[in-house]
Structure 1
Amino acid sequence: MRKARPLIALAVALAAAGWLLTAVGSAPSTPPSATPAAATASPPAPVVFSATLPDGAEYTPLFYAGATTSVGTALTPDGSADRLILRDRGGDRELRRAPRDRYAQFLGFTAADGTLYWAESAADPDGTYETRLWRAPLDGSSPPASLTADTGAAVFFDSEYDLVVADGRLHWVAAPPDDGARTELRSVALTGGRVTTASFEGRFRHTAWPWLLSVDDQAPLVLANPQTGERRTVTRAAAETVVCTPVWCRSMVQLGDRHIYDVLHPDGTARRRVPGDLTAVTIDNALAGRYEIFTEAQGATVRLVAYDIDAGVIRLLGTDIGVTTARAGVVWWADRPANPTAWKSLDLR
C-alpha cells in the first residue's frame, strides 16, 4: 500500500506551498468595453432536498452530478464515523464510511458517463495518510471500486478540474517529490491499474481539458497545452487576480472593501465589467462555458446571481442565501449558514 503525503486541500495551504495565484499592484488601465444591464427576472425554481437524513443526521453536499443527484457527508447517528452519501430522487445510498479518528477527507468529485469519481484521504494508525481514488456508478448498480492509491502528493484546489475524465483515463496533478518548480501530471485508467506520471515544467492545475493554468505567483499567468506544447501568456494588469479557461478569464481587483470583476478573453480582448458589489463563489470561472457565479449583499439579505457571459446580463438565481458553492454547471446553496433546514440546487447546463 502506497503512503502519500496528506492532500493539500485548502487555498491557505496552497499559498504556503507557492501553489496559489496572487497579484499585487495598480488597477488595470484598460476600461471595460461595455457595462451590461442587470436582469431583475424572478429566479427559476430550484430543486429542494432536506438538510437532514431520515436517520436524523445533518447532510452537507459536496458535489452535484445534476440538480437532483448529489454526494456529500454525514456522521453516523452515534457520531463514530464519517459517511459519504449519494442522494437522488430514489433515496440515499452510503458509498463509504470511515471512523472519525481517521480524519477522512472526500475531495475532487467529478462525474462522467453515469459514473462518479472522487479522492479519499485518511490517516492510518501510524499517522501517515493514504490518498486513494474511487469510482461508483450513479445508479447504484454496483458497489464503489478503488482505482489506485498511487496518487503522489496530489494537489486539490476545490475546482471542478481537480479530477478530469478524458481519453479513457482519470487525470490529476501532484506536487513533485522535491521543491522543484514542476508539476506531476498523473492519470489512471477508468477501470484502475498502473498510474502514468509525466513531469511538466512549472506549477500548474487543470482547467478545461487538455489545458493547464499556472499557479506560480512569481511568474506570468500561463495557459499550457501539454499535448501540443503550446503556451499562452494571459494578458493581465499587475493588480488583477485572474483565473482562466482557454476561452474566458475572470479578473478581480480589490478596491478597499469592494471587489471589481471583469470578464475577458485570455489575450485581453472583449473585456467587460460585471456590475454590482459582488463576491465570486468559486475558484472556477465560466461555468458550463458561460456563467460567472456571485453572491451580492443587499442589506441583511444575500442574493445569488449568475453573470451570463453570452447574453451580458445578471440573472437572479436565489435570495436569502446562507452558504453556497458551484461546480461544473450546478449551483447549490443552503437557506442559512448554520444548521440549515434545506439544500437547493440549479443545473445551469
Structure 2
Amino acid sequence: MSGTAAGQQLWAVDLRGERPARRLTADTGDSRFYQTQYDLVVAEGRVHWVAAGPDDDTEVRSVALTGGAVRTRTVEGSWALTGWPWMVDGLADVSGAGRLRNQVTGEERAMPATRLSETACSPLWCRAVSLDEDGYPKIEVVRTDGNDRRLVARETARTVISDVAVLGRFEVFARVTAASELSGRDELLIYDIETNRTVRISPEATDVWYRNGVLWWSTGNAESFLRHALDLRTV
C-alpha cells in the first residue's frame, strides 16, 4: 500500500525482481490499518483489507493479485482482518474484541470476556489487559473458547505489538524497569505458551515490530542505534 497525492494505491512487487512492480488498484476506499500483520491478507488469489463503511459499518474489500475490479461487501460493526479466513469485531468497543466471524462459512464465535479488560483476539488466542486488585496492569492470554487462561505478566508490563500470541505460541510484551525509566527503553520479553515460561529478549528495546514470524527492535539512542531481528519460526 502506498500513499499519493491522489490517495492510497495498492501495489504488488516481485521480490525475485523478475517483473516490475505493478499497481493492483487505486480503489482502496477509506482503508483502515491497525498495525498488525493482517492489515493486508493474501488468500485465495486475492489481497484483502478493510475500510470504513457507511453508518459506522465496515467494508471488506479485495482485489485479484493480477489487478482488476475491487470486490466490496459491507458488514455491520467495526471489523478487522485476522488469520484467514477470520475477522474480528469490537474494535470500537471499550472492552475490545467481542466476536470472530469466518468469512467463508459465516460461522461466528463469541470471545471470552474478562471483567474490566481490553481484549484483542486471533483465531486461536485472546489477550486480555486489565488491572489487578492493586491497580497494576495485568496481561493474560486465553484460548478463544474460553479455556486455558494464562497469566503472562503484571505490575509494570505492557503490550508492544498489536498481534496476539504470534505463531499461536509467543506473546510479546515489555516491562518498565528502574534502568528503563532513565533510558526510555523497556525490557523486551516473550511469554512462550508452549513451555509456560518467559524469556528476556533484550534488557532495553524500542521501536518494536513484528511481521510474518520475525520480531525486530532497536537498541541504543537516536544518534547511535542497532537494529535487531529474531526469526521466531526457528525457535
CA change 1:123–1:254 in 2 (3 A) is farther
- Partner SS state of residue 321, structure 1: strand
- Partner SS state of residue 48, structure 2: strand
The reply to whether residue 315 of structure 1 matches residue 192 of structure 2 is: no
- Partner SS state of residue 300, structure 1: helix
> Would you say the 8 A contact 2:114–2:128 is kept in 1?
no
The reply to whether residue 286 of structure 1 matches residue 168 of structure 2 is: no
Residue in 2 aligned with 1:262? 140
Offset at residue 337 of structure 1 (A): 5.0
Offset at residue 122 of structure 1 (A): 2.7
> Would you say the 8 A contact 2:35–2:162 is kept in 1?
yes
Residue in 2 aligned with 1:225? 102
Q: How does 1:71-86 map to 2 (within 5 A)?
A: none
Higher strand share: 2
- Partner SS state of residue 151, structure 1: coil
Residue in 1 aligned with 2:5? 123
Deviations 1:284-321 (A, max 9, x none): 10111211111122321432111111111112222232
CA distance in 2, matches of 1:264, 1:340: 39
CA distance in 2, matches of 1:223, 1:347: 28
Q: Choose from 85, 94, 117 the match for 1:210.
A: 85
Residue in 1 aligned with 2:222? 338
Residue in 2 aligned with 1:141? 18
- Partner SS state of residue 279, structure 1: strand
CA distance in 2, matches of 1:320, 1:248: 27
Offset at residue 226 of structure 1 (A): 2.2
> Would you say the 8 A contact 1:323–1:337 is kept in 2?
no
CA distance in 2, matches of 1:324, 1:181: 31
CA distance in 2, matches of 1:328, 1:207: 13
Offset at residue 236 of structure 1 (A): 0.7
Deviations 1:194-243 (A, max 9, x none): 11111222220001111111123179711111221111111212311111
CA distance in 2, matches of 1:238, 1:303: 28
Residue in 2 aligned with 1:34? none
CA distance in 1, matches of 2:228, 2:114: 37
Q: How does 1:186-205 map to 2 (within 5 A)?
A: 186-205=61-80
> Would you say the 8 A contact 1:150–1:195 is kept in 2?
yes
Offset at residue 346 of structure 1 (A): 0.5
Residue in 2 aligned with 1:17? none
CA change 1:337–1:190 in 2 (3 A) is farther
Deviations 1:165-219 (A, max 9, x none): 001110000111x3x2421111111121111111222220001111111123179
Segments of structure 1 that go 5 or more residues without pairing to the other structure are 1-118, 125-129
> Would you say the 8 A contact 1:208–1:246 is kept in 2?
yes
Letter in 1 for 2:22: A
> Would you say the 8 A contact 1:322–1:337 is kept in 2?
no
User: Which has the larger Rg?
Assistant: 1
Residue in 1 aligned with 2:183? none
Segments of structure 2 that go 5 or more residues without pairing to the other structure are 181-185
Q: Which of 322-331 and 181-190 deviates more?
A: 322-331
Offset at residue 139 of structure 1 (A): 2.9
CA distance in 2, matches of 1:184, 1:204: 9
Report percent identity of matched pairs.
Answer: 38
TM-score, scaled to structure 2? 0.88
Higher RCO (Cα < 8 Å, 6 or more apart):
1
Q: CA RMSD in A?
A: 2.0
Q: Choose from 299, 304, 309 the match for 2:178.
A: 299
CA change 1:340–1:195 in 2 (3 A) is farther
Q: Which of 291-300 and 145-154 deviates more?
A: 291-300
CA distance in 1, matches of 2:109, 2:210: 27
Letter in 2 for 1:258: Y
CA distance in 1, matches of 2:94, 2:136: 25
Offset at residue 262 of structure 1 (A): 0.6
In the comparison of the two structures, how many residue pairs are matched? 224
CA change 1:257–1:238 in 2 (3 A) is closer
> Would you say the 8 A contact 1:325–1:333 is kept in 2?
yes
- Partner SS state of residue 201, structure 2: strand
Q: Which of 232-241 and 296-305 deviates more?
A: 296-305
